[in-house]
Chain A
């Protein structure tokens, strides 16, 4: 993942207000999700950042969770702060 792909809703400091914007908890101001992130960026746990995530070769926003026996499908942007199996890449 390079810096250009990162969005504010990939950041642990971001408080999501709605689908377009949220509050940066570092700078204490409203930011649009789809604008460049800053140097204070901290990775938010999401499936795409998890060691157990295998991306679907045909659709990279979708994938599989390898942590469970049943290998359920999942999606890259699923937030996993509450997932007991999350393991940062």
Chain B
């Protein structure tokens, strides 16, 4: 029986604990707060649980058919017409019991590929084109990304169903059409064109090596070009689609033939307004096709209740296809419809609804005052909204959907924050949103509290009640930090303090600019927030910090691929300063080449595949007459540099500094040998588990015990240890500043983004053992401020001290996740402790904290018996996901996190 690291550590008396603050009870402990969805959403949620992720080629077929027909036309018109044609031809499906209707595709959990973005991975494995795609660096992340095989993921083909992109099922009858569609986009897709033009960069081969080594997780220009941003529902909510079409027609007449003082893109306004009209007409037809379907079903229905419900659906859709909504239900249906329409325009994750409680407040207030609705009815609608949002699937490659997103779509709904004039923005509807989130626990929309000292205590305690359900939401975001960051990054684009207060979170925790809008409903005026920026987390995606250190230690070579990724530095690394200097050089080379490649990708995207519907929703596209690619959107400095594995990097630097440079106990060569020997352990792949604690010793591996013990005992992040905190501060000061040296295609400086999403799984999988004692192939610490599992020995307040040793307002975000045993926060006393702990972190300057309230034993049991846990959700890093839909790397990592038995 091979020895496991947990046993070895125990024998050695090394204080690496996976519980802090006591010992968990022996029995399985469930979450304290548990409510049931109302009957209607429960039925629809149960249907979701039994539904497979299903893809269809309907949308791409109609889109491509029209696109081909318009060859030679102006790209924005060609795209808009193709979009109109596709929307107009989607098959409407309405499921019995639904009040909110419509979807991305005809299936309940439907989606579709967009071969105009990238076509390679849609092709069957034996296909020659797929083989060619595999040779591209971008395919490397696919190989190391794993989906959970449970839930609705179709990870294997069966019967007449073919598995594609590792997650989606498609009917075999549609596969020949998919292949044909894919072939039609060869040489024309954003992916193929970017490949052609990226090769004009002199260091293109270097960039491809970076991708093959998975030092960078993915590229967004042809995978997820939009998202991690906040949508803006204002214009359709205020004017209705008819009003917007009228407005575009008027503007079109004004600008036709006029440059308007802009000799470069002034003339483009005509085409943009025409494109707006075309797309809006397509969306109207799409909505009205659903209305017709509701009428058809009503005509055939024998049950009078269901018949009446179909008729209500038809009336609602027939109205919102043209006009400003009249009721809360119509407004909710409209924002959901807008949301889905945007998601159908492009491959998107993290299109966040924003501050929905504040956006829909006018309808809620007026319906309540008029007695048109009740709070219970509103909660039911909000629960239904949760189910519909949970049904959203994002179709992209396996590496992106599995390795980065874990199948999640990151529709973040924010609560709290401040009004334009600095008052708490919470309202009664936000309480109901929390209540719906408690009753109808499902991943979407995930919730975030924009925490501000001014927010009322009862609201914060309601949010804590929601946390105690174990859903992993709401996450807590520091309102003040975000505002400071926004003013720093967007002040140069004219952002004021008042406008900064309109922000919300895009995706999991990407601070995104917003704007205030005056909305009039029945003669009463309100001010509502909405997104006002381009997508964020477009730029340089997830750099594997420990992997870059590995390359520094091994003279630029990646031992996994055998490639010389970086030019050999040939330095002896005799001092810590020299090591750090080379690290920064390699890192900056990486950011530089990826930034340029990314700029080419997004430039091709904006020329051929620009967003039109998404653009017109955001200020100031309709006013300026320009889409996103022509800088129509108000804030454009949104591109960033994302990192992953920060804590393993910091812990490794601390170990090297202490053991090699300060104490000189080992030479760098001895450390290198130990790393290559994986400290005498088998690889994680061999063991079949990806957390440190379960790794097994090789026979004869004991010779590495001393060095491994010392590496594990070296100072670790999260213990308020000034030795390691100083290293973190030096890293952060450099990193946040370094990012701003690089420029996006929109000629704006980049900035730091520090989240891991799921990338700490696959990027850990490609990384050798690290000097901090982490073993080869195991996951990195999650997030950016979470301690490595079992190494936080001084409690949560020590973590806070370490995590706030640097100025977090210089980064778009930072991320800290803490796993808490349900018994640690029991009752009102436990709730208040959790709130005080959260408050303490926010006051110290932390940006984000989130809690996984779960008994680790439940997770272990769920891993062994997934069939019993279809509904179990956990928080990963910025998102909540069903346990059974997570890949094993991430499951192992969540289990391994330190569990707090007391707070």
Q: Tell me the minimal C-beta distance from B388 to chain A in angstroms.
A: 14
Q: Which residue of the partner chain, among B54, B88, B94, B176, contacts A19 with CB atoms under 8 Å?
A: B54
Assess the A28–B107 pair: CB atoms within 8 A. Answer: no
* CB–CB A17/B107 < 8 A: yes
B576 to chain A, nearest CB (A): 56
Report Cα–Cα, A19/B52, bound state, in Å.
Answer: 7
| A59 CB, min distance to chain B CBs, angstroms | 6
Complex partner residue of A83 from B51, B89, B96, CB under 8 angstroms: B89
Please pick, from B89, B95, B173, the residue contacting A77 in the complex, using a CB distance under 8 A.
B173
Report the minimum CB–CB distance from A73 to chain B (whole Å): 7
Q: Are A19 and B91 CB-contacts (below 8 A) given A34-B160, A62-B180, A72-B65?
A: no
Tell me the interface secondary structure of chain B in the complex: mixed
Identify which of residues 23-80 in chain B touch chain A, using a CB-to-CB cut-off of 8 Å. 47, 50-55, 58, 61, 65, 68-69
- Chain B's closest residue to A26 (CB) is B300
Could you tell me if A19 and B61 are in contact, using CB atoms closer than 8 angstroms?
no
**A38 adjacent to chain B (CB < 8 Å):** no
Inter-chain contact B69/A70, CB cutoff 8 Å? yes
Residues facing B in A19-71 (CB within 8 A) are 19-20, 23, 25, 28, 33-34, 59, 61-62, 70
Known contacts A18-B52, A20-B169, A82-B90; decide if A75 and B297 are in contact (CB<8 Å): no
CB atoms of A16 and B300 under 8 A apart: no
Residues in B with CB closer than 8 Å to A34 are 159-160
B663 to chain A, nearest CB (A): 60
Measured CA separation A78–B54 after assembly (Å):
16
B802 contacts A by Cβ under 8 Å? no
Chain B residues touching A, range: 35 or more
- Residues of chain A within 8 A (CB-CB) of B51 are 17-18
| A contact residues around B55 at 8 Å (CB) | 19
- The residue from B58, B65, B170 contacting A79, defined by CB atoms under 8 A apart: B58
CA distance A15 to B97 in the complex (A): 13
Which chain B positions have C-beta within 8 A of A15?
93-96
Q: Is the CB of B61 within 8 A of A20?
A: no
Q: Is the CB of A20 within 8 A of B69?
A: no
Nearest-neighbour CB distance to chain A for B444, whole angstroms, equals 18
**Cβ of B173: which chain A residues have Cβ within 8 Å of it?**
61, 75-77
Interface residue A74 (Cβ < 8 Å from any Cβ of B): yes
Residue of B nearest to A14 (CB): B93
Provide the bound-state CA to CA distance between A79 and B105, in Å. 12
List B contacts of A18 (CB < 8 A).
51-54, 107-110, 152, 169
Please indicate the chain B residues that have their CB under 8 angstroms from the CB of A23 in the complex: 95-96
B177 within 8 A of A: yes
Q: Which residue of B lies closest to A61 (CB)?
A: B176
**Contact partner, B89, options A17, A59, A61, A82, Cβ 8 Å:** A82
Interface residues of B in 79-112 (CB under 8 A from A): 88-96, 106-110
Q: Does A81 contact B (CB under 8 A)?
A: yes
Please tell me which one of the listed residues B106, B108, B174 contacts residue A75 in the complex, with CB atoms under 8 A apart. Answer: B174
**A19, B106: Cβ atoms closer than 8 Å:** no
On whether the beta carbons of A19 and B93 are closer than 8 Å, the reply is no
Instruction: Tell whether, in the assembled complex, residue A16 and residue B106 are in contact, meaning their CB atoms are under 8 Å apart.
Output: yes
Q: How far is the CB of B270 from chain A (nearest CB, A)?
A: 27
Closest A residue to B159 by CB, please name it: A34
Known A18-B52, A19-B52: A82·B91 in contact at CB below 8 Å: yes
Residue numbers in A under 8 Å from B110 (CB-CB): 18
- In B291-311, which residues have CB < 8 Å from any A CB? 297, 300
* Contacts known (A16-B106, A18-B54, A25-B300); A62 close to B176, Cβ less than 8 A: yes
Contact present for B161 and A79 (CB under 8 Å): no
Residue of A17, A28, A70, A75 with highest tally of chain B CB at under 10 A: A17
B870 at the interface (CB under 8 A from A): no
Q: What residues of A have a CB within 8 angstroms of the CB of B96 in the complex? A: 15, 23, 25, 28
List B contacts of A75 (CB < 8 A).
61, 173-174, 176-177
Q: Which partner residue on chain B sits nearest A9 by CB separation?
A: B171
Assembly CA distance A73 to B107 (angstroms): 24
Evaluate contact between B91 and A81: CB separation under 8 angstroms: yes
B95 contacts which chain A residues (CB < 8 A)?
A: 15, 17, 23
Q: B residues 573-623 with Cβ under 8 Å of A?
A: none
Question: Given contacts A61-B177, A62-B177, could you give 17 more A-B pairs where the C-beta distance is less than 8 Å?
Answer: A16-B93, A16-B106, A16-B108, A17-B107, A18-B51, A18-B110, A19-B54, A19-B170, A20-B159, A23-B96, A74-B61, A77-B171, A78-B177, A79-B91, A82-B88, A82-B90, A83-B89
Q: List 19 A-B contacts (CB under 8 A).
A: A9-B171, A16-B107, A18-B51, A18-B53, A18-B54, A18-B152, A18-B169, A19-B55, A23-B96, A25-B96, A25-B297, A28-B96, A59-B176, A74-B61, A74-B65, A77-B171, A78-B61, A78-B177, A82-B88
- The 9 A-B pairs of least Cβ separation, nearest first, read A18-B52, A19-B169, A75-B177, A18-B54, A19-B54, A77-B173, A79-B91, A82-B89, A17-B108
